[in-house]
Amino acid sequence: MAQLAIREYDAKRMFAEFSSSLYSGYLIEQESDIDAFAKKETESNIPPFGHTSRGESEIQKWVIKPDQLFGKRGKYGLIGVNLDITSIRKWWSEHYQKVTTIWKQEGLLNTFLIEPFLPHAEEYYVAIQTKRDHDVIYFSTAGGIDVEENWETIQEMRVPIFIIPSRVEQSISPTIMRKEWSRSIEINMKEIYPKSNSFGMPMDWQNFESSITQQFNITDPRISDFILQLYSFFREYWFAYLEVNPFTFSTDGTVVCLDMVARVDDSEEFRQRKNWAWLAFPHPFGPEKTDWEKYIEKLDSETGASLKFRILNPDGRIWLLTSGGWASVIIADTLADLGFATEIGNYGECSGNPDRENTRAYTATLLDAMLANPTKWKYLVIAGAIANFTHIDRTFAGIIDAFRDRIDDMREQSIHILVRRGGINDAKWLTMMQKACEELSLPCEIADGSQYMTDILKNIKF
């Protein structure tokens, strides 16, 4: 299923909850949030971060940075460091709603994270990523802003994971599932460390921690303890990717996560309804969602089908109506290989057996976005793999309905239809599409499942 990025604030808040520790970050989305932060911290008598008492001249300093799902904020000059409250407010006012370009993507800065500033000398890197049948833990003593320049220092450790069948049974209560999951970890650890004379979790986890220490040549037990705790958090909250770069230590020896990146697996949302309470899945940095994208998002939330739509280039001359089976990825990649990357108008899918009305609404919205630019001679690619449970007749009927609703504009802009689809009774429904396009005077090329999915793209001529 999809991996969804979450805000750094939420990842750190969840980790603090998991580890029963204190997190002093503030999420800033509007001026009232800055006011509330300033008021609370001005009136606070809490010692500066990393100190046990407040000296007369000691004032807490702060760090502020955007929290909008993009990295390299330091290299983009988008981190304010070692600032007092007045300076924090000034920095925020200079950057809030500012148009910024990140990796050629232009967008507004509108969400920020404020955290206590911690002077430090050492910076470490750790990341965990889940694969098909194992997890990978990455570690480096050369963390921080230049970790990519020191990539050769990063070591990795594979952790096999075997999920027992009962883990996915819907009838099992969450409490039992957690016990069974722990049991599967026990079994896994026993296979990794066969010399262990204990089958219980404490002994297994002890061996696991020892393996981490040896694999990464760690001499500070605080680091191995932290990695073990982070991995426990990763598994319990069902992350797909979790990175802390860097982490360091406060003056009292506590591990501090200075920067965190996280993605969760959305297939776990129902089971994680407690751990993920109030968790937001923000729109990635870039242009604000169009009304068309918002409408499809709403439509998607109201159906069991998968309806996705993202505009890449509103002036593009090739638009995609793809139907699962990795068709969206394969078609887009092939178009790029053919030299049409800049002509792709959208990315998305209309799959999961949508009914006629949802398909009609999806297609109509796509056509509205496609026809908004008056440029003539465009292509609409209707493609998918061999349908295994999607009713092609219903989807094609919905597409044809949308064609009829917007036929005048489609003719005016010389829209060419390219269709490749296969499945049960595909000849019947492909013939239906062919006849509809002929009736509507729309140029159309049809390919069935006997042809490669991408062969239809050879008909694109500019």
pLDDT, position 206? 60
Concatenated DSSP letters of 57-126? T----EEEEE-SS---TTTTT--EEEE-HHHHHHHHHHHTT-EEEETTEEEE---EEEEE----S--EEE
Out of 3.30.470, 3.30.70, 1.10.287, 1.10.1220, select the CATH number for domain 124-268: 3.30.470
Angle formed at CA 271 by CA 200 and CA 387, multiple of 5 degrees: 115
The two domains 20-116 and 124-268 share their CATH topology (first three levels equal): yes
Residues of the chain predicted below pLDDT 70: 1, 45-58, 162-206, 325, 388-390
Q: What is the pLDDT of residue 190?
A: 43
Instruction: Using alpha carbons, select from 61, 59, 103 the residue that is nearest to residue 78.
Output: 103
Q: Give me the torsion for CA of 402, 408, 413, 417, rounded to 10°.
A: 40
Q: Strands, DSSP E only, in 144-257? A: 155-160, 239-249, 255-257
Tokens 């242009």 belong to 287
How does pLDDT run across 336-345, given as a tens digit for each residue? 999 999 999 9
The confidence score (pLDDT) of residue 287 equals: 81
Q: Does domain 291-459 have CATH number 3.40.50.720?
A: no
User: Yes or no: is domain 20-116 CATH 3.30.470.110?
Assistant: yes
**Tally of CB atoms within 10 A around 335:** 21
pLDDT of residue 99: 93
The full set of domain ranges for the chain reads 20-116, 124-268, 291-459
